[in-house]
Structure 1
């Protein structure tokens, strides 16, 4: 009788799930909540990036620029976790077609902060921010079907 109650209440499936799946299943958000937090996180990321760019021209502004720009990119990147979930996001980030862009992007995030705080090389920090932007763009367009092919064709046509 207990088994029948568990089947009818849907508890039998949870026993077969692993601990991680049970925790993630218990913490799911509604679709509208996911979309709202995606927009909030993405807009916050854009705002941080714009604020960092505005702070670039202040004294010691390169440090603020690097920090805010990096935080903005991390916020924009993590905003998609609300749409597809953190595990699926991580799995998709490291798919073979995105692997190089992901590694370059994450490496540039770290190197930007290293250049500003440990190496004290402002020019290098700006170069790493530019590389962050390019890697993030290349990573982002990998989610749009045939977008990378179109960009590559455009560049080869312009260079020819």
Structure 2
């Protein structure tokens, strides 16, 4: 647990800049970080589930679904900021192994809201929500060692 705490808080690095020390000095305690992560993640999951429930409302159901589902994904993604800190999270999001997944995920978040609010296209909003789900899943799998390879092997075995 201590190793995980050190890695996520960035304390495993030997040469530290002055900015990193200032950020660490003003950071939250480990217990507060875990609580913030859990609260934000659970709120994100609940927003996503609420969005799915609102999908079957006759009027404006798709718009509400798109908004709550997108807010849920943003909250779930934002929950990791409590574990790593905002700067380290942004750096890790745009590492070469996650770059495409991050761009697709952020693009789908924006396009979902555009399809729901400005284009008024229910089908397109649902497609972008589905793409949001797959992009977020692929992004999340990048943090688990060899998870992407296992998924690729599973799908190739199913298709052949």
Q: Which has the higher contact order (CA 8 A, sep 6+)?
A: 2
Matched, 1:112 2:112: yes
- Structure 1 residue runs of 5 or longer lacking an equivalent are 1-15
Instruction: Give 1:27 deviation, angstroms.
Output: 2.4
- Structure 2 residue runs of 5 or longer lacking an equivalent are 1-16
Pair 1:117–1:21, CA change in 2 (3 A): farther
Backbone CA RMSD of aligned residues: 1.2
Aligned length, in residue pairs: 143
Instruction: Give 1:26 deviation, angstroms.
Output: 3.9
**What CA distance in whole angstroms lies between the structure 2 residues aligned with 1:84 and 1:40?**
15
Give me the TM-score of the superposition, normalised by structure 1: 0.86
Where in structure 1 do 4 or more consecutive aligned residues deviate above 4 Å? none
**What CA distance in whole angstroms lies between the structure 2 residues aligned with 1:99 and 1:110?**
17
Secondary structure of 1:29's match?
Answer: coil
Aligned ranges 1:64-75 → 2 under 5 Å: 64-75=64-75
Instruction: Give 1:17 deviation, angstroms.
Output: 1.9
Give me the TM-score of the superposition, normalised by structure 2: 0.86
Instruction: Give 1:21 deviation, angstroms.
Output: 5.4
**What CA distance in whole angstroms lies between the structure 2 residues aligned with 1:102 and 1:55?**
27
Corresponding residue number in structure 1 for 2:13:
none
